[in-house]
Amino acid sequence: MRVSIGSPTSVFTSVAVRIRPLTENEKQHCQNNAIAFAPDNQQQVIVGGDRPFTFDYVYPPSSSQQDVYNSCVIPLLNKFMKGYNSTILAYGQTGSGKTYSMGIGLDSVMNASADDGIVPRFIDSLFSSLESKRSHNYSFQVCVSFLELHNEDLVDLLCPNARSRREGLNLTIREDSHGNICWSGVREEGVSNTAELMGLLRKGSIARTTASTDMNSTSSRSHAIFSIILRQFQQTKRLVSKFHFVDLAGSERLKRTNAVGDRAKEGISINTGLLALGNVISALGDESRRVSHIPYRDSKLTRLLQDSLGGNSQTLMLACASPADANMTETLNTLKYANRARNIRNRVVINQE
């Protein structure tokens, strides 16, 4: 049984914007940089010379993976260790740097380097922190799950036959007596160290659906949720917290991908889920409308993320964008989407079993 400690605290969703460098292909096609950064305001990004946006964190192309991790992820790790749920949502068009920033692409998980993304760094930090606390009065248990939402079918990426299960996963999503969202029917693998957890991240990343489109030669054609569940056992209490790392599929308009057949079907499904997500963000973030009904049930994606958006989670949206002028419309859409998310209030508590 899961209970809450203390009264819920109201917190806003944090938003970080990361602008990647121009690619070699963009440079060869003489694409110009449509993004500027305010010299006197490190939280502001300017699109097209006259469209300023202000966010909690802004990362220019010169920012390193370590810069991103230190400033906006470590605070969430510290909360997670105290028993709070947390979520990082990576959003943006295909090729904007979402999967690179999160560190769950094949290149990232197969080859550790100084360019490791958020998830590998988090895994390393988590076990370092846990081992430093271990004593006869303190122990812990870590489990992991890895879900893919592809064409509105759920696939368990840690299941050995994940890719062959075309019928999807028989997963049940429900609310417990405290209003927390619970998933059943998902494999949760126990791990005891960094190597084991990284092994499961690799296993799931290999099984994830990718395909070539005009936007990206290895485009993620699905949404993915990599979750870490932490149970901490102390003399007087047992804490349980979960951390969702969400790598959303590309947000671009379907016609920009030149996709046909199965790729077009995937694009329609992706856009449907992201539209539902946008509707939830709008309903939660627009206080002037005082919306009483939040349309979480319009999509499996929004139902899965109900805790993360307006519920019991410390949530960060990482909006990734291209600086190229050819992508300015998509970049503007990404920043508008992220700007709405800043108005979402979550109600967080320390979770105790």
Q: Which residues are annotated binding-site positions for ATP?
A: 92-99
Angle at 294 between CA 289 and CA 298, to 5 degrees: 130
**Rounded alpha-carbon distances, angstroms, from residue 335 to 55, 287, 318, 331, 332:** 9, 19, 10, 6, 5
Taking the CA of residue 96 as centre, how many other CA atoms within 13 Å lie in the half-sphere pointing to its CB? 31
Q: How is the beta sheet containing 35-37 ordered, strand by strand?
A: 35-37, 44-47, 51-54
The burial of 314, by beta-carbon neighbours within 10 Å (0-12 exposed, 13-18 middle, 19 or more buried), is given as: buried
Helix 118-133 vs helix 194-207: crossing angle, to nearest 10: 150
Which candidate, 116, 25, 118, 36, places its Cα nearest to that of 331? 36
Instruction: Spell out the alpha helix ranges (H) of the chain.
Output: 24-28, 65-68, 74-81, 98-102, 106-110, 118-133, 194-207, 254-257, 262-285, 300-304, 328-341
Backbone angles phi, psi at 11, to 5 degrees: -135, 145
Output the six-digit token pair for 16. Answer: 């970080």
**Can you say which residues are annotated as belonging to the binding site?**
92-99
